Amino acid sequence: MDSLLVERQGAVLALTINRPRARNALDSATVDALADAVARAAADDDVRVVTLTGAGDRAFAAGADITEIAALGPEAARRFAERGQSVFRALETLGKPSIAAINGYALGGGCELAMACTIRIAAEHAELGQPEIDLGLLPGFGGTQRLTRLVGRGRALELMLTGARIGAAEAERIGLVNRVVPRDALATETRALAERLASKPALAMRYILQAVHDGADLPLPAALRLEAALFGVCAGTDDMREGTRAFLEKRTPQFTGR
């Protein structure tokens, strides 16, 4: 059985982690499959949005595969963490929006994967957390950094040091997820958002993502210079001319991604 299902739905690339008996745990084969899917999405201009979920309704991804982690020595563990970080960073910097449809447990590496996505929608029964502390570990796929950036240092440290799991409503309250929806509405809501994003001008979306991701690590004056530079780049696109013309002519724009 393929550990990652890949389905093209128009301009949307839908990825489904397909290890339901293991609560969609992220073993090495699945991480490699994710790397391949993200690389293909990056290379295909017709893919405008990526969605990611887990098979079944119990787990988005319940962490990394503990059977693999238990056998790692220090050097192999470092390489394992660097591999996961590389794949999740590629997803985060894809230049196209990604949506995590969190349909159950998103723990450990699963929570880290969701945080690498642009937007997170959680079903009301979902649980999220970084419980690596209870294994004598720390998050290794970017959790210490992304969780802190999303919810602030104090809340992030409490979650990581206690290993606590939180429900979807609390995750929304602290900013870990964008939206909570009923269980049976998750797929529909995710699809609707993906289609809405896919209708937007691809270059403007790419530069918004670049400005946010790159600018967050710069001093404010440098980040503002980056924003202005990207604003200038957008002004030279066909999509900008079409968008402004359509606004003035009171019609729906027809973006081409150029």
Segment 6-42, tens digit of pLDDT: 999 999 999 999 999 999 999 999 999 999 999 999 9
Q: Could you report the per-residue pLDDT of 139-153, keeping only the tens digit for each? A: 999 999 999 999 999
Amino acid letter, residue 239? D
What is the β-pairing status of strands 127-129 and 165-167?
antiparallel
Query: Residues 203, 195: contact at Cβ < 8 Å?
Result: no
**CATH superfamily of domain region 4-198:** 2-enoyl-CoA Hydratase; Chain A, domain 1 (3.90.226.10)
pLDDT in tens, 43-92: 999 999 999 999 998 999 998 888 888 898 999 999 999 999 999 999 99
Residue among 49, 31, 47 at smallest CA distance from 89: 31
Amino acid at 149: R
- pLDDT tens track for 184-225: 999 999 999 999 999 999 999 999 999 999 999 899 999 999
Average pLDDT over residues 161-190: 98
Q: Is the pLDDT of residue 161 over 70?
A: yes
Sheet (strand 12-17) strand order: 4-9, 12-17, 49-54, 98-102, 119-123, 179-181
Residue 78 CB neighbours (<10 A)? 12
How far, in Å, CA of 6 to CA of 34, rounded? 10
- Could you name the CATH architecture of 202-248? Orthogonal Bundle (1.10)
User: Band of the pLDDT at 257, cuts 50, 70, 90?
Assistant: confident
In this predicted structure, the answer to whether residue 1 has a pLDDT above a threshold of 80 is no
Residue 218 near residue 204 (C-beta atoms within 8 A): no
Active site residues: 112, 132
Domain with CATH 1.10.12 in the chain: 202-248
Q: Which residues of 173-209 are buried (b: 16+ CB within 10 A; e: fewer)?
A: eeebbbebbeeeebbebbbebbeebbebbbbbbbbbb
Compute CA distances 167 → 29, 122, 252, whole Å.
29, 9, 40
- Which residue ranges does the chain devote to CATH 3.90.226.10? 4-198
pTM (predicted TM-score): 0.94
Confidence at residue 59, expressed as pLDDT on a 0 to 100 scale: 97
With 70 as the cut, is the pLDDT of residue 97 above it? Answer: yes
